[in-house]
Amino acid sequence: MQRLPSILIAIGPLWLLWIALTGSTDPEELVAGGIVAVLVAVLAGGEPFSPASLKIFQPRRFAYALAYIPYMIWAIIVANFDVARRVIAPKMPIRPGIVTVKTKLKTPVGRLALANSITLTPGTLTVDICGDELCIHWIYVAHEDIEGATREIVEGFEKYLEVIFG
């Protein structure tokens, strides 16, 4: 019963999304959309609209989320050029390997966002998440120790994600 308020809150936006996607205000469509909205809200447990999930709309978190987008784009561009240089110049060293990094992020969603951010950046791939440690396949292992690898791979993303997700 603790999720009931979140479920009830979720029904409205889901129903409005149905209307926007179908583009119809026929009574049959509205009823079908209402039924689908209730089913989705109940099956999801109102999760997208739980009080914890709505924290993203706090001004500071929202600002960091907006600032994270250009940071992520820049990280992807820089990593693309690095990988392209390694492909074009065969003398450019590669030293592939799997390293372990630690994260300060406490929430599963925050860790997931970090893992996805790392994977979207060319040259790195998140292999596994175990608690506060992530196993990363890295095209050039510059640091074998956890602290050095964490500083190199994680810190840039983490300063934003820690504020956004906690």
129 shares its domain with 101: yes
75 shares its domain with 150: yes
100 shares its domain with 137: yes
68 shares its domain with 135: yes
Domain that holds residue 42: 4-51
Question: What's the domain count of the chain?
Answer: 2
What confidence score (pLDDT) does residue 49 get?
A: 63
Q: Is the pLDDT of residue 5 over 90?
A: no
118 shares its domain with 77: yes
What confidence score (pLDDT) does residue 52 get?
A: 60
* Short-list 89, 88, 98, CA closest to 128: 98
62 shares its domain with 132: yes
Q: What is the mean pLDDT of residues 83-97?
A: 86
What confidence score (pLDDT) does residue 59 get?
A: 87
Q: Is the pLDDT of residue 140 over 90?
A: no
9 shares its domain with 63: no
Residue type at position 128: D
98 shares its domain with 157: yes
**In the chain, % of residues over pLDDT 70:** 92
Q: For the chain, what is the HEC assignment?
A: CCCHHHHHHHHHHHHHHHHHHHCCCCHHHHHHHHHHHHHHHHHHCCHHHCCCHHHHHCHHHHHHHHHHHHHHHHHHHHHHHHHHHHHHCCCCCCECEEEEEECCCCCHHHHHHHHHHHHHCCCEEEEEEECCEEEEEECECCCCCHHHHHHHHCHHHHHHHHHHHC
38 shares its domain with 71: no
**In the chain, % of residues over pLDDT 90:** 46
Between residues 5 and 102, which one has the greater pLDDT?
102
| pLDDT tens digits, one per residue of 26-75 | 999 999 999 999 988 888 776 656 666 666 668 888 899 999 999 999 99
How far is Cα of residue 119 from the mean position of the Cα atoms in its chain? Answer: 11
159 shares its domain with 124: yes
What confidence score (pLDDT) does residue 41 get?
A: 85
Cα distances from 36 to residues 3, 5, 26, 66, 107, in angstroms, run 18, 18, 15, 31, 30
15 shares its domain with 45: yes
38 shares its domain with 69: no
28-37, 88-97, 129-138, 151-160: least confident range = 88-97
How far is Cα of residue 101 from the mean position of the Cα atoms in its chain? Answer: 17
CA–CA separation, 75 and 68 (whole Å): 10
pTM for the structure as a whole: 0.70
Name the range with the highest mean pLDDT among 38-52, 121-135, 139-153: 121-135
Q: What is the mean pLDDT of residues 112-126?
A: 93
Q: Is the pLDDT of residue 2 over 60?
A: no
